């Protein structure tokens, strides 16, 4: 079975990271910003697993990636709860209106 070259995996990770940064910087809706942060986490996980492929005896990349997934799930739950509370108070999820820039 032929493996995917690491250059392709790293390119996919770079694309995911760039899309995540683009979403965080340009979007105004809080949920879309959270999705951008999740894309950044997924890009980091992809790179961790790709690099750990070169040392098959040690599973440090996979273990650290699993830790990042657990932290990201907890972060998403807490952040979504905060967004819901902010929406109840301000009646909007637009970040510019919440911080008073509009």
- Selection from 3, 17, 2 nearest residue 48 by Cα: 17
More confident: 2 or 5: 5
Distance CA(13)–CA(35), nearest Å, equals 16
Band (pLDDT 50/70/90 cuts) for residue 1 is low
| 8 Å CB contact between 12 and 29 | no
User: What does the pLDDT look like over 19-64, one tens digit per residue?
Assistant: 999 999 998 888 899 999 999 999 999 999 888 887 777 788 888 8
- What whole-number distance in Å separates Cα of residue 46 and Cα of residue 38? 12
What's the confidence (pLDDT) of residue 101? 66
Q: Which single residue is written with the structure tokens 């040690």?
A: 58
DSSP annotation of 100 reads T
């Amino acid at each position: 079975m032929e493996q995917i070259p690491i250059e392709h995996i790293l390119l996919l990770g770079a694309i995911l990271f760039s899309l995540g940064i683009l979403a965080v910087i340009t979007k105004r809706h809080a949920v879309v910003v959270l999705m951008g942060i999740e894309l950044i986490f997924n890009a980091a996980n992809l790179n961790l697993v790709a690099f750990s492929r070169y040392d098959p005896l040690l599973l440090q990349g996979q273990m650290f990636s699993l830790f990042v997934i657990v932290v990201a799930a907890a972060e998403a739950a807490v952040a979504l709860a905060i967004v819901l509370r902010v929406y109840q108070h301000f009646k909007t999820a637009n970040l510019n209106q919440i911080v008073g820039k509009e």
